[in-house]
Structure 1
Amino acid sequence: MSGFNSFAEFYPYYLSEHRHPVCRTLHYIGSGLVIAVLLFVLFTQQWRWLWLLPVIGYGFAWLGHFIFEHNKPATFKYPLYSLAADWVMLKDFLTGQLKDKLPPA
């Protein structure tokens, strides 16, 4: 069981682990590429490329953590909350809501 009772409790923690803008940018790049590969696979029905989804999605994110944040990705301890939070953070970024939710530096 996680130390969080809900996603609403987890998300502020998640954002606190993503303070560095380059780390967040790498997350956005990975998520965008996941969408692109998924669309490619769906339109071309070349299912063999599905293995790229976790490699791309997690690869970019983990580089951000190891190189810029210098912390352990939340995925290791909270995999489902972390996966959901990746997409919520991207949505918050794209809608301009992220700046209001980020903890102070």
Structure 2
Amino acid sequence: MTTATSRERQERYRSFAAFYPFYLTEHVNPVSRRLHVVGTTLVVVCLAMGALRDWRFFLAAPLVGYGFAWVGHFVFEKNRPATFKHPLYSLMGDFRLWFETLTGRRKF
């Protein structure tokens, strides 16, 4: 039996429900997960500040979010972010991981 490569597995996802288990396997390093949670939290803060204070915070949101997440991938996970193949599912995964961490379903 041959094992599918990471790239082959990524290309098969037709739903977020199918993608999310793969997303979790790409975020096993606790430092990487923490960086994702911190980055997503800062994205939420930037969006709120953009709405309440200054529109330029909207420009900062993706830079902050991806900055933290990509450090997690390249430095700690040693893998390529799924954002490049599945940008929407990856973003959804970031927010689901964030929500699960905030609600105690996932360990910080």
Normalised to the residue count of structure 2, the TM-score between the two structures is: 0.84
The one-letter code of the counterpart of 2:49 is: F
The one-letter code of the counterpart of 1:47 is: W
Report whether the alignment pairs 1:29 with 2:38: yes
In the TM superposition, 1:47-86 aligns within 5 A as: 47-86=55-94
- Paired residue total: 97
Normalised to the residue count of structure 1, the TM-score between the two structures is: 0.87
In the TM superposition, 1:39-50 aligns within 5 A as: 39-44=48-53, 46-50=54-58
The ranges of structure 1 where at least 4 consecutive aligned residues each deviate by more than 6 angstroms after the TM superposition are none
Deviation at 1:41, TM superposition (A): 1.5
Q: Which runs of 5+ in 2 are unaligned?
A: 1-10
3-state DSSP class of the match of 1:98?
A: coil
Deviation at 1:48, TM superposition (A): 2.3
Q: Which runs of 5+ in 1 are unaligned?
A: 100-105
Q: Which has the higher contact order (CA 8 A, sep 6+)?
A: 1
Same amino acid, percent of matched pairs: 51
